[in-house]
Structure 1
Amino acid sequence: MTAISVHATAIAINYHGVLLVGPSGSGKSDLALRLIDRGAVLVSDDIVYVEQSEGKPLLRAAPNIEGRIELRGVGIIEVLHTKYAAMRMVAEMAPSYERIPPENLSTDIAGYSVPLVKIAALEASAPLKVEYALRSIVDADIWPMPLSHIRPNESPAT
């Protein structure tokens, strides 16, 4: 499978990749910076390549932006980074979201159905919410599923 590029930011928490998606100015880089401050590692900011590796989606940076993150009002800085991470979850920057979301929420990225959480990126608790959502996915051993393996009317989590 050829890599596709996604306008997003990607970080790795304990080697598990999280793709932060949303429009420009929605807080992706800000949330990534706060997660990095808590121990996450940058994969890529602004453009993320998603490719298949051993049947799983892999997140990686374009070589020209590797290790760099844009901080609005500050500029582009270099941070600790990793070349790639296996994608486990998508966090969508959302101005509002359901108090208790439906179970098994997912989104389609690069031919995979990927677990999804909606986050108000600029809330103080946003980094913790991303970490807890990822932990629940990892603890349940949920992985992105190729869309070609999902039959009509079948939930990705079944």
Structure 2
Amino acid sequence: MALRRSTRTRSESAAAPGGARRAAQEVSLHATCVAVDGQGVVLTGESGAGKSALGLQLIDGGAMLVSDDVTALFREGPRLIARAPVHGAGLIEAHGNGIMRLDFVDQAPVAFFVDVGPPAGERLPEPAYRTELGISALLLRADPANPASAALIRLAVAHGPPHIPDSV
């Protein structure tokens, strides 16, 4: 699926063919989503955890905004797709500064989820997964206070997520 800048309004997107069918098979999450090299990275976590801030760091590094605050997920065959709700497309909160309007992409296939928050404590955790609409995707952790978090996410998209070698 090629990424593109939106050329239609969200109301036109909602009225697109299959929109009624899609709505019945959709779930909304309190999450931010960005597209890194065309792959959707869904940032989840508690309110105030730093999802939007980490999203802005990724956008500053070349990612494109998909959604902020609320992310809609739907199935497309074996893939999970993320998009913004009708009224939030192209908007992201810059905490303490207001709402920014940015270029965005209509949707992106989900590569993985990222649980945003303070470190979990384990240096080498077992792989974790999140399942939505019957599709599982890898779940990474990222601390928005760690300056390497955005780099970790970009590198995970480019080279695959971190893992624990058998020899460790």
Same fold (TM over 0.5): yes
Runs (5+) with no aligned partner, structure 1: 139-158
Which range moves more in the overlay, 61-70 or 126-135? 126-135
Runs (5+) with no aligned partner, structure 2: 1-23, 162-168
Q: CA deviation at 1:94?
A: 2.8
* Structure 2 residue 38 is the aligned partner of structure 1 residue 28: no
Moved over 6 A (4+): none
Contact kept, 8 Å, 1:31 with 1:122, in 2: the verdict is: no
* Structure 2 residue 21 is the aligned partner of structure 1 residue 3: no
2:109 alignment partner, SS class? strand
Q: Greater CA radius of gyration, 1 or 2?
A: 2
What is the rounded CA distance, in whole Å, between the counterparts of 2:116 and 2:145 in structure 1?
9
Q: What per-residue deviation string (whole Å, max 9, x for no partner) do you get for residues 33-70 of structure 1?
A: 00000000000000000001132100000121100001
Q: CA deviation at 1:129?
A: 1.1
Which range moves more in the overlay, 1-10 or 29-38? 1-10
**What is the Cα-based RMSD across aligned positions, in Å?**
1.4
Q: What per-residue deviation string (whole Å, max 9, x for no partner) do you get for residues 81-122 of structure 1?
A: 1000000100101311321222x4212223221111111122
TM-score, normalising length: structure 2: 0.77
Report how many aligned residue pairs link the two structures: 137
Q: Which residue, 71, 83, 87 being the options, matches 1:48?
A: 71
Residue 12 of structure 2 corresponds to which residue in structure 1?
none
What is the rounded CA distance, in whole Å, between the counterparts of 1:124 and 1:69 in structure 2?
20
* Structure 2 residue 110 is the aligned partner of structure 1 residue 87: yes
Residue 125 of structure 2 corresponds to which residue in structure 1?
101
The structure with the greater share of residues assigned to strand is: 1
Matched residues, percent identical? Answer: 31
Q: What per-residue deviation string (whole Å, max 9, x for no partner) do you get for residues 121-141 of structure 1?
A: 221111001112223338xxx
Residue 19 of structure 1 corresponds to which residue in structure 2?
42
